[in-house]
């Protein structure tokens, strides 16, 4: 199969040349060059670098996934593992897996810093803090589903759920920390999947008053009617039943109004809610770390380029200017003077429970672009501290054009195809031996292709 022809290559080259020429015509190179600073002197620091990995396999209506997160640096290494299966649901399953992996990364970063020795302690994360602050659920249907759950169980019970869950997470973190100190690993870092049935019975099922096939009948809290008004469909139903407006208002006030909603939607939304609360808690704890930095290898930020009115990503812009006007790919860094605020869609009724997340979501994140070595690539660095303050601590761990602990963490966290396949085969064999009928859940559609 021929994937690339000379015509394709010429077309791609023409596109990039046009973009390059447009950038050179419009760029104010003096502004960029005057703010490109020499790298500061390195300062001694102890460090843990954190990275995670996931492997997901779709079977017959079920997904089986394996997660890992590792902290590697100045002390002994720590690692978290997690394996789970869930009924596949497009959109929901992928978000849960992604949030759980990042929850583990945040958790091990926070706990590793507690066990790190040294006067200046540094935690390095792979990726971006801005991405963590706008992590899913950000899609409108997810936010709406969480709002439905909040209205369904009631505002007071919703807050009580969060308070109770956070208390359990505090104890859970102490237990995982003890496990890491004793053994260096934990295979039970996540709590949401463990407590979901208990919380569903306590907070959700008390509102369900009947089942109709795959639907559930629930009572509508008067609070949601007061806040959002009476739905037209509900008014039409009252009229069909021959009820007066006074009858309708009395039923609403006494919370005797019943509606039928999709059972799977309610359960999925509740799962997303608990997973998201655990994620926000982990991020809130990580943001307590005094010296915290994120380093991104791949990103397409145009914050700087947009300020200058140029349609190109920031790293390419800086590369073009340095190469063209300095005649060399000089090491150094460029940073924004003020923290950069990133729009987020975390509802107030959630973010108010996590003061550090709220603080940096509102204040913004310090962002800079750094070339650690002449001729190497430019990386994005984000931090809760000013870039010029955190950069000396990072540079202590530079080897060549990158940060060595982050490279080791990436290699240590990676779940290889061979490892995942062996674990999956072992699980499938166990399930089939435990109950032959479980075979229906373990068929693998891509088997003939491998």
d(CA 427, CA 415): 16
> Are 383 and 124 in contact, with CB atoms under 8 Å apart?
no
Is residue 126 part of an annotated ligand binding site?
A: yes
Closest by Cα among 207, 185, 195, 334 to 278? 195
Contact assessment for residue 67 and residue 82, using Cβ atoms and an 8 Å cutoff:
yes
Rg of the chain over Cα atoms, rounded to whole angstroms, equals 26
Calculate the CA 378 to chain-centre distance: 24
CA gap 379, 387 in Å, rounded: 13
DSSP label of 375:
T
319 is in an annotated binding site: no
At 412 the three-state DSSP class reads helix
Helix axes 155-183, 263-286, angle to 10 degrees: 50
Burial class (CB in 10 A: 0-12, 13-18, 19+), 287: buried
Query: b/e map of 344-382 (b: 16 or more CB within 10 Å)?
Result: bebeeebbebbebbbebbeebbbbbbbbbeeeeebbbbb
> Which single residue is written with the structure tokens 């006007």?
325
Binding-site entries: 51, 126
Binding-site entries for Mn(2+): 51, 126
């Amino acid at each position: 199969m021929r994937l690339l022809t000379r015509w394709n290559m010429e077309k791609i080259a023409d596109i990039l040349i046009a973009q390059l020429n447009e950038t050179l015509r419009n760029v104010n190179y003096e502004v960029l060059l005057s703010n490109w600073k020499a790298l500061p002197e390195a300062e001694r620091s102890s460090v843990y670098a954190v990275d995670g990995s996931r492997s997901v396999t779709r079977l017959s209506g079920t997904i089986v996934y394996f997660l890992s997160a590792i902290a590697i640096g100045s002390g002994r290494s720590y690692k978290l593992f997690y394996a789970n299966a869930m009924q596949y649901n497009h959109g929901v399953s992928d978000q849960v897996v992604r949030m759980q992996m990042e929850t583990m990364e945040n958790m091990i970063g926070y706990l590793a810093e507690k066990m790190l020795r040294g006067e200046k302690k540094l935690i390095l994360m792979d990726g971006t803090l801005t991405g963590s602050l706008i992590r899913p659920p950000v899609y409108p249907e997810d936010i709406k589903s969480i709002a439905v759950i909040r209205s369904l169980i009631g505002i007071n019970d919703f807050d009580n759920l969060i308070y109770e869950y956070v208390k359990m997470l505090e104890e859970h973190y102490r237990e995982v920390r003890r496990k890491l100190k004793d053994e260096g690993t934990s295979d039970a870092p996540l709590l949401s999947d463990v407590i979901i049935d208990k919380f569903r019975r306590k907070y959700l099922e008390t509102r369900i008053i009947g089942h109709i096939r795959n639907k559930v009948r629930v009572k509508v809290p008067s609070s949601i009617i007061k806040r959002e008004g009476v739905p037209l469909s509900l008014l039409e139903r009252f009229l069909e039943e021959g009820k007066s407006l006074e009858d309708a208002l009395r039923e609403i006030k006494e919370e005797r109004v019943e509606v039928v909603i999709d059972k799977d939607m309610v359960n999925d939304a509740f799962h997303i809610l608990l997973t998201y609360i655990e994620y926000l808690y982990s991020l809130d704890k990580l943001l307590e770390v005094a010296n915290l930095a994120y380093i991104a290898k791949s990103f397409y930020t145009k914050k700087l380029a947009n300020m200058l009115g140029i349609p190109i990503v920031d790293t390419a812009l800086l590369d073009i200017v340095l190469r063209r006007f300095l005649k060399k790919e000089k090491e150094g860094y460029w940073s924004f003077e003020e923290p950069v605020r990133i729009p987020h869609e975390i509802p107030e009724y959630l973010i108010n429970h996590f003061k550090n997340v709220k603080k940096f979501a509102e204040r913004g994140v310090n962002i800079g672009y750094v070339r650690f070595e002449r001729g190497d690539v430019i990386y994005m660095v984000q931090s809760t501290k000013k870039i010029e303050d955190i950069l000396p601590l990072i540079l202590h761990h530079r080897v060549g054009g990158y940060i060595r602990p982050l490279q080791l963490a990436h290699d240590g966290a990676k779940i290889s195809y061979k490892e995942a396949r062996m674990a999956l085969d072992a699980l499938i064999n166990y399930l089939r031996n435990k109950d032959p009928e479980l075979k229906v859940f373990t068929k693998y559609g891509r088997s003939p292709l491998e």
